[in-house]
Amino acid sequence: MSINRDPYDLRTNEESKAEFEAKAKLEKKLEEDDLVWLMDQKRGRAMVWRLLAEAGVYQPSFNQNSMTMAFNEGRRSYGSKLLMQILAICPERHLQMQKEAIKHGRSDDGNADHSN
């Protein structure tokens, strides 16, 4: 379905732009609230730790096979985006998540450390 708009109707265009910006701001706020809610839960922090570890955020992605390395970098890029959101929105929960992971013997690769 196409909407016919007059590209020279500045008032309507400005209203559309304002509506778009308001919607984008609301969506960003909802996403941030969801992340805070998740990071406020102990099980949520454990899940996020596993996701970050599986993404390879805390380890190098180098591999001699360039396709494998590209795949690893793709995962790592997404994990880094999540980590940056956490650090920007609720950095205190990131520190808490790290402490809990150490306390429960989770290594940076998401697996339990059985060397004790």
At 7 the pLDDT is 75
Q: What is the pLDDT of residue 97?
A: 97
CB count, 10 Å around CB of 35?
Answer: 19
At 71, the amino acid letter reads: F
pTM over 0.85: no
Q: What is the mean pLDDT of the chain?
A: 90
Which pLDDT value is given to residue 5? 73
Q: Which of 41, 66, 39, 71 is nearest to 54 (CA)?
A: 71
Residue 33 region, left (φ>0) first, then alpha (ψ -120 to 50), else beta? alpha
Specify the pLDDT at position 96: 98
State the pLDDT at residue 107: 72
Tens digit of pLDDT at every position of the chain (116 positions): 556 777 787 788 788 888 999 999 999 999 999 999 999 999 999 999 999 999 999 999 999 999 999 999 999 999 999 999 999 999 999 999 999 999 999 877 655 544 43
